[in-house]
């Protein structure tokens, strides 16, 4: 056994090395490129003649756009007492114009919800998992790791350092993405919504949880293909389990047995919860006022079943277990 | 004199698949003592178990049977690895690092205080003839340059025991010369070197003692001098001639 300071030193050196490695890859520039494109897009957003927010509880909240009013007929709109909005959002520095049924603040938050909640938290996390899947299998190749393993270091510390290095890299990219789009939207629209920054920890935790599973596959198989596609497949499986759980918790099937319900609950609590990460960001952004939530999640939340802290903690516990199993496997590996 | 390494009844069987109980026996009942302060050669034909023995000594793999002591401590005490330098023929160093970054990284992992790493790395790069290329990424290095860097990383912790596995593979004349100088310096300093090599002239020139492994078993152990003056052979013979009957005998048993 090596002493704790030695383990901390090892983790520190491995994090530094992995971070250095990630900066030298094309991946760094690809991810940075996506951030730059998203930031430029946000700089080109303008919101004009937006409808003011309702300020009184009795104030009519039903609003429709001009195009909708023309489709329905102006007489009917008047008879129903609907408010017609005249707001416009221009994208691409004035290239495209869309009518908006929200005020400036909500319109910008809606965009932020799309950027972080839909694009980054789903597609972004999946791409990051695919792109970083090769870091560990390459590191575990006998030709790369034997000299490191002959140093007075613990194998678990090497693995943990490598894992944390990749997570730190993704955290940097998430911060640049969220920071860049937040700043650009602030400049172009005057809306500086601080809650948007909550996307950074949510994205990082979401990635870290599934990357732990990737590490487990990498140690077990030393194959980039298995680590990459196995993790993506697992993400979809967890998403399905998460969605089914919320669906059946709010609308149970009439003939569902207690055992099936128990298994579903056990699966939900044991596995990571990608839908809940989305829902958490939705809640932090206060998005129920301006966007349509995922129906399964909304029903689950409305009925008071959603426990954000427990959901995140149980996902993190899963990551911890996966890392512990991976570290134990790595400890036993013969080189 | 204490032993730098002591193997007692060591066996190592590699499982052919995770689901199979059968395996390949790489090392069979090896008992061997490597005296401290010696330059010890480990010889044998391909797949004799030499590298497996070295890997077990470095805790890269675990012995199936028997026990190993490393620098006077049980094998599970990883702290002794801080006193060992290891270089092997075909190591893939991180290509994104420069030579000096690589030495700082390996030095850091060896537990060398931060203040000492940079001057040591500088001195070693000078020693192995890479000081003018220290800031370049390793990706641009030739195989010989990577081998020189491999030697520098093995020396970064100023080890008491240096393990060289086919160290001159890919090295030019100057590189081989350098390697020999390093081994001789270890001898002068009373430190131990384990040399795994197929280059018999090198072994003959540098080693005091050697062990010959054939088919996972020790077929000969003793001093180089004794082997070269084997009474049955009469006059002094060269190492190749002396090893031939040992290899043949070992393969038959």
List the domains of chain B with CATH numbers. 3-252 (3.40.50.300)
Q: How many CB pairs under 8 A join A and B?
A: 78
Give the torsion sign (CA, B48, B54, B56, B59). Answer: negative
β-sheet bridge partners, residue B33: B6
Low-confidence ranges of chain B (pLDDT < 70): 1, 18, 230-236, 253
- pLDDT value at A322 more than 90: yes
CA distance B241 to chain A (A): 33
Least confident of A51-65, A282-296, B73-87, B239-253: A51-65
pLDDT at A318: 98
Greatest extent of chain B over all pairs of C-alpha atoms, in Å: 57
- Residues of chain A with Cβ-Cβ distance to B105 below 8 Å are 13, 16-17
**A85-94, A120-129, A194-203, B34-43: range with lowest mean pLDDT:** A85-94
Q: 3-state DSSP call for residue B17?
A: coil
Min Cα separation A25/chain B (Å): 9
Contact A150 B84 (CB under 8 A): yes
B96 to chain A: which residues are within 8 Å by CB? 20-21, 24-25
CB contact under 8 A, A150 and B59: yes
Task: Decide if B79 and A149 are in contact by the 8 Å CB cutoff.
Answer: no
Phi-psi region of A131 (alpha: psi -120 to 50; beta: other; left: phi over 0): alpha
pLDDT at A98: 82
Are A147 and B86 within 8 A, CB to CB?
Answer: yes
pLDDT digits (tens, 9 = 90+) for A133-163: 999 999 999 989 999 999 999 999 999 999 9
| Residue A153 Cα, gap to closest chain B Cα (Å) | 7
d(CA A205, CA A225): 23
Whether A219 and A335 have beta carbons less than 8 Å apart is answered as no
Q: How many CB atoms lie within 10 A of CB A192?
A: 12
Check B110 against A17: CB less than 8 A apart.
no
Residue A250: predicted pLDDT: 82
Which residues make Cβ contacts (< 8 Å) with residue A30, sequence separation at least 6? A131
- Indicate yes or no: CB of B60 within 8 angstroms of CB of A149: yes
The minimum CA-CA distance between A23 and chain B, rounded to whole Å, is 9
Does the structure show a pLDDT above 80 at A86? no
pLDDT (0 to 100) of residue A3: 56
Query: Which residues of chain B have a CB within 8 Å of the CB of A17?
Result: 94, 97, 105
pTM of the full structure: 0.88
pLDDT: is A84 or A74 the higher one?
A: A74
Closest-CA residue of B relative to A11 is B109
Chain B closest-CA separation from residue A239 CA (Å):
31
Give the Cα separation of A90 and B39 in Å (integer): 78
**Range of lowest pLDDT (A41-45, A85-89, B4-8):** A85-89
Residue B13 DSSP class: E
Contact B242, B71 (CB under 8 A): no
Is pLDDT of A56 > 70? no
Nearest CA distance, B79 vs chain A (angstrom):
5
Range with the largest mean pLDDT of A85-89, A313-317, B13-17, B217-221? A313-317
Partners of residue A154 in chain B, C-beta under 8 Å: 78
CB contact under 8 A, A335 and B62: no
> What is the distance between the alpha carbons of residues B59 and A151, in angstroms, rounded to a whole number?
10
Q: Are A126 and A232 in contact (CB under 8 A)?
A: yes
A81 compared with B124, residue with greater pLDDT: B124
Cβ contact A180:A186 at 8 Å:
no
At residue B252, the pLDDT reads: 73
Question: Among A152-166, A209-223, A255-269, B204-218, which stretch is predicted with the lowest mean pLDDT?
Answer: A255-269
Pairwise pLDDT comparison (B71 vs A76), residue with the higher score? B71
Report the C-alpha gap between A179 and A247 in whole angstroms: 34
Question: Taking a C-beta distance cutoff of 8 angstroms, is the pair A330, A155 a contact?
Answer: yes
Q: Is A216 helix (H, G, I), strand (E, B) or coil?
A: helix
Share the mean pLDDT of chain A. 89
| pLDDT of res. A93 | 86
Query: Chain B interface, mutation test: which of A147, A156, A169, A329, most B Cβ atoms within 10 Å?
Result: A147
Interval A313-324 mean pLDDT: 98
pLDDT for A92 equals 83
Whether residues A151 and B110 touch (CB distance < 8 A) is answered with yes
CA distance A223 to A246: 34
- Residue B129 region by backbone torsions, left for phi larger than 0, else alpha for psi between -120 and 50, else beta: left
pLDDT digits 0-9 by tens, B194-247: 999 988 889 999 999 999 999 999 999 999 888 887 666 566 678 888 888 888
């Amino acid at each position: 056994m090596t002493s704790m300071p030695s383990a901390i030193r090892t983790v520190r050196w491995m994090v530094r090395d992995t971070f250095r490695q990630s900066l030298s890859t094309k991946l760094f520039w690809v991810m940075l490129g996506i951030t730059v494109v998203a930031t430029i897009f946000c700089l080109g957003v303008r919101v004009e003649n937006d409808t003011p927010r309702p300020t009184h509880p009795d104030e009519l909240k039903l609003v429709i756009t001009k195009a909708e009013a023309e489709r329905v007929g102006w007489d009917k709109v008047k008879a129903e007492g609907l408010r017609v909005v005249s707001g416009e959002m221009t994208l691409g520095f004035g290239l495209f114009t869309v009518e908006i049924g929200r005020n400036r603040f909500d319109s910008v938050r809606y965009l932020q919800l799309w950027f972080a909640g839909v694009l980054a938290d789903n597609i972004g996390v999946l791409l990051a998992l695919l792109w970083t899947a090769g870091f560990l299998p390459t590191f575990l190749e006998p030709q790369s790791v034997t000299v490191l393993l002959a140093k007075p270091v613990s194998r678990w510390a090497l693995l943990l350092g490598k894992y944390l290095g990749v997570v730190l890299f993704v955290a940097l990219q998430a911060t640049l993405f969220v920071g860049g789009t937040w700043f650009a939207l602030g400049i172009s629209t005057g809306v500086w919504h601080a809650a948007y920054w909550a996307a950074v920890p949510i994205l990082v935790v979401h990635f870290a949880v599934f990357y732990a599973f990737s590490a487990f596959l990498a140690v077990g198989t030393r194959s980039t293909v298995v680590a990459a596609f196995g993790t993506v497949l697992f993400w979809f499986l967890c998403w399905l389990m998460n969605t089914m759980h919320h669906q059946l918790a709010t609308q149970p099937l009439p003939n569902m047995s207690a055992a099936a319900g128990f298994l579903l609950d056990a699966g939900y609590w044991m596995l990571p919860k990608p839908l809940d990460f989305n829902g958490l960001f939705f809640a932090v952004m206060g998005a129920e006022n301006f966007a349509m939530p995922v129906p399964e999640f909304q029903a689950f939340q409305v009925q008071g079943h959603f426990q954000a802290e427990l959901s995140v903690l149980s996902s993190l516990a899963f990551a911890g277990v996966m890392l512990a199993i991976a570290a134990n496997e790595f400890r036993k590996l013969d080189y | 004199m204490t032993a730098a390494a002591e193997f007692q009844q060591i066996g190592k069987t590699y499982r052919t698949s995770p689901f199979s109980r059968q395996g390949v026996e790489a090392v069979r009942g090896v008992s061997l003592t490597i005296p401290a302060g010696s330059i010890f050669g480990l010889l044998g034909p391909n797949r004799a178990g030499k590298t497996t023995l070295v890997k077990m000594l470095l805790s890269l793999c675990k012995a199936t049977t028997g026990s190993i002591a490393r620098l006077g401590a049980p094998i599970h005490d990883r702290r002794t690895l801080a006193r060992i330098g290891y270089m092997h023929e075909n190591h893939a160093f991180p290509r994104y690092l420069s030579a000096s970054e690589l030495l700082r990284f390996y030095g850091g992992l060896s537990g060398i205080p931060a203040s000492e790493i940079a001057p040591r790395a500088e001195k070693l790069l000078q020693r192995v003839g890479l000081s003018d290329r220290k800031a370049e990424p390793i990706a641009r290095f030739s195989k010989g340059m990577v081998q020189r860097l491999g030697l520098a990383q093995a020396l970064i912790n100023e080890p008491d025991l240096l393990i060289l596995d086919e160290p001159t593979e890919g090295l030019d004349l100057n590189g081989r010369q350098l390697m020999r100088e390093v081994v001789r310096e270890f001898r002068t300093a009373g430190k131990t070197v384990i040399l795994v090599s197929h280059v018999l002239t090198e072994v003959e020139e540098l080693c005091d003692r050697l062990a010959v492994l054939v088919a996972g078993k020790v077929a000969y152990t003793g001093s180089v001098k004794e082997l070269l003056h084997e009474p049955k052979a009469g006059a002094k013979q060269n190492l190749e001639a002396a090893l031939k009957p040992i290899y043949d005998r070992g393969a038959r048993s």
